[in-house]
A and B are shown apart, each in its own frame.
Chain A
Amino acid sequence: KAGVTQTPRYLIKTRGQQVTLSCSPISGHRSVSWYQQTPGQGLQFLFEYFSETQRNKGNFPGRFSGRQFSNSRSEMNVSTLELGDSALYLCASSLPPPSSGRQASTDTQYFGPGTRLTVL
């Protein structure tokens, strides 16, 4: 089974521009989460989508947004880029939670290779 894929793998932008990153989850996975990783802050949760709905959101400004499509693919967008947005952006997918009798094992998230964004 193919893993999580992310495109593009590398991006260079300048301040003020906007960027869109794409993530395709593992086949059958319907939950997609996004994380930002920087040397100073580590891995931080951005948001999570399930069934085209944002279920959880981290503590990031409104410049960071996302969406999910009916095929579970997800995109995140960063507008008005700042130098501090330079980071590795990681997407992770997991199985959907069952409506009842949830198994903890469905919480396991699998990461894609990431998109390295550099803002100049």
Chain B
Amino acid sequence: QKEVEQNSGPLSVPEGAIASLNCTYSDRGSQSFFWYRQYSGKSPELIMSIYSNGDKEDGRFTAQLNKASQYVSLLIRDSQPSDSATYLCAFSSFGNEKLTFGTGTRLTIIP
């Protein structure tokens, strides 16, 4: 079983709609969870971090964490063409700086 599972996509969403990205992880010791956005040819850019069960909202982005189900998701509301990118989920264990990444979901927003 892979440590982090992400649907590689591609995921196509109409402009203005909600994009939903999902990630499951196997390490129950995971404490910190992150969503990064990566444009083609660029480095990952932090979108959201979440540490506690529940929802965390930041502008058009909402991260959801369910540690019992070992599941983290990212919702993007009012999707824009500029949101087209690969989205990477990652986690780390408390006290360990190593980030374990999923393979990424390629998201395309259709105008």
Taking a contact as CB atoms under 8 Å apart, the answer to whether A43 and B44 are in contact is yes
Taking a contact as CB atoms under 8 Å apart, the answer to whether A102 and B94 are in contact is yes
**Separation of A43 and B98 alpha carbons in the complex (Å):** 11
Of A90, A94, A97, the contact of B43 (CB 8 Å cutoff)? A90
A48 in the interface, Cβ–Cβ < 8 Å?
yes
Most chain B C-beta atoms within 10 Å of own C-beta, residue among A48, A111, A114? A111
Q: Report B95 CB to chain A, min CB distance, Å.
A: 7
Q: Report B19 CB to chain A, min CB distance, Å.
A: 21
Taking a contact as CB atoms under 8 Å apart, the answer to whether A48 and B88 are in contact is no
Q: How large is the interface on B (under 10, 10 to 19, 20 to 34, 35 or more residues)?
A: 20 to 34
In the complex, which residues of chain A have a beta carbon less than 8 angstroms from the beta carbon of B36?
A: 111
Q: Which of A50-58, A62-70, A73-81 contacts B (4 or more CB under 8 A)?
A: A50-58
Number of interface residues of A (CB under 8 A): 28
A 71-120 contacts with B by CB, 8 A = 88, 90, 92, 94, 97, 102, 104-105, 107-114
Taking a contact as CB atoms under 8 Å apart, the answer to whether A33 and B98 are in contact is yes
The 10 A-B residue pairs whose C-beta atoms are closest, nearest first, are A43-B101, A104-B51, A111-B43, A107-B32, A48-B97, A114-B43, A45-B98, A42-B103, A56-B98, A111-B44
Interface, chain B (partner A; CB < 8 A): 31-32, 34, 36, 42-46, 49, 51, 88, 90, 92, 94-104
Interface, chain A (partner B; CB < 8 A): 31, 33, 35, 42-45, 48, 50, 55-56, 58, 88, 90, 92, 94, 97, 102, 104-105, 107-114
Contacts A43-B44, A108-B49 known; 10 new A-B pairs at CB < 8 A: A33-B98, A44-B101, A45-B98, A48-B97, A88-B43, A90-B43, A92-B99, A108-B34, A109-B34, A111-B46
